[in-house]
Structure 1
Amino acid sequence: MEPKLNNETNVTPVTVQRKKTEHAREVTHHLWSFALSILLTVFAFAAVGLELIENTVLLGMFILLLAAIQATFQMLIWMHMNQKGHEFPTMFILSGVFVAIITVAALWLLIWW
């Protein structure tokens, strides 16, 4: 026995329920990502404002770590880079990160060595 089709949209009730579930899961991911991004920002401000880390090199590394985590949230959750069909933009972003790391490392070696 075939499921009844909705005459207006030609979709089954199962399809509608699956889309609602996917949407609810996506909203939950967005809310968690937003909350974690705010929390990471508060950590960064607290580390600088309260001088929790006195060594400036360690402070810079801590801030960069928080920035990398937040950038990952941005790409995966808000930009939907974890979904199918985003392999090409992902490849270019990762290539840009690789080139940036190589450039910074080369300039650092030129200046400090």
Structure 2
Amino acid sequence: MTNQPLSSNNPSVDLEYRRRKSAEEMRYQVISFTLMIFLTLIAFASVAMKGFTAWFTIPFILLLAAVQVVFQLFYFMHMSHKGHEAPTLFLFSGVFVGFLAILTFLTIIWW
């Protein structure tokens, strides 16, 4: 997709561009919402199934939760748009530091 100017000094062209972008954004949000509902149903099914042990179910649910957090950040919180690079960097840096802190404490306690 090429970079298009935000204002072409033609109101009908600008209106059409905004409608097209809004429709595209809404389509992404509906698809993301549908995928999140599907992932939730998979999580419920994995708990309801008697064949899975807790050693499989708990990490599987945590993985599905992490995927849903990414969907929510990038599609519902609009972090995939331009201008959100710095908050994204700080957010994922904080997640990385938190993960390292948890890993450190678990390592200290277990070994």
Coarse TM-score class (shorter-chain normalised) = 0.7 to 0.9
- Partners of 1:26 and 1:97 in 2: CA distance: 27
Could you list the per-position Cα deviations for residues 18-48 of structure 1 after superposition, in whole angstroms to 9, with x for gaps in the alignment? 1101100111111111111111111111111
Deviates more, 1:84-93 or 1:74-83: 84-93
**For 2:81, what is the secondary structure of its paired residue?**
coil
Question: 1:71 maps to which residue?
Answer: 69
Question: 2:4 maps to which residue?
Answer: none
Question: 2:40 maps to which residue?
Answer: 41
Between the two structures, name the one with larger relative contact order (CA 8 Å, sep ≥ 6). 2
Q: Which amino acid aligns with 1:69?
A: V
Matches within 5 A, 1:18-97: 18-54=17-53, 56-97=54-95
**Which protein has the larger Cα radius of gyration, Structure 1 or Structure 2?**
1
TM-superposed CA distance for 1:52, in Å, is 4.4
TM-superposed CA distance for 1:58, in Å, is 2.0
Could you list the per-position Cα deviations for residues 60-110 of structure 1 after superposition, in whole angstroms to 9, with x for gaps in the alignment? 221111011101100100000011111121111111110111011111111
Indicate the RMSD between aligned Cα atoms, in angstroms: 1.4
Length-normalised TM-score, structure 1: 0.84
**Alignment length (residue pairs):** 103
- Partners of 1:81 and 1:31 in 2: CA distance: 16
- CA separation of 1:52 and 1:96: change in aligned 2, threshold 3 A: farther
**For 2:91, what is the secondary structure of its paired residue?**
helix
**For 1:40, what is the secondary structure of its paired residue?**
helix
Percent identity between matched residues is 41
C-alpha contact 1:29 1:77 (8 A) present in aligned 2 = yes
Q: Which amino acid aligns with 1:76?
A: F
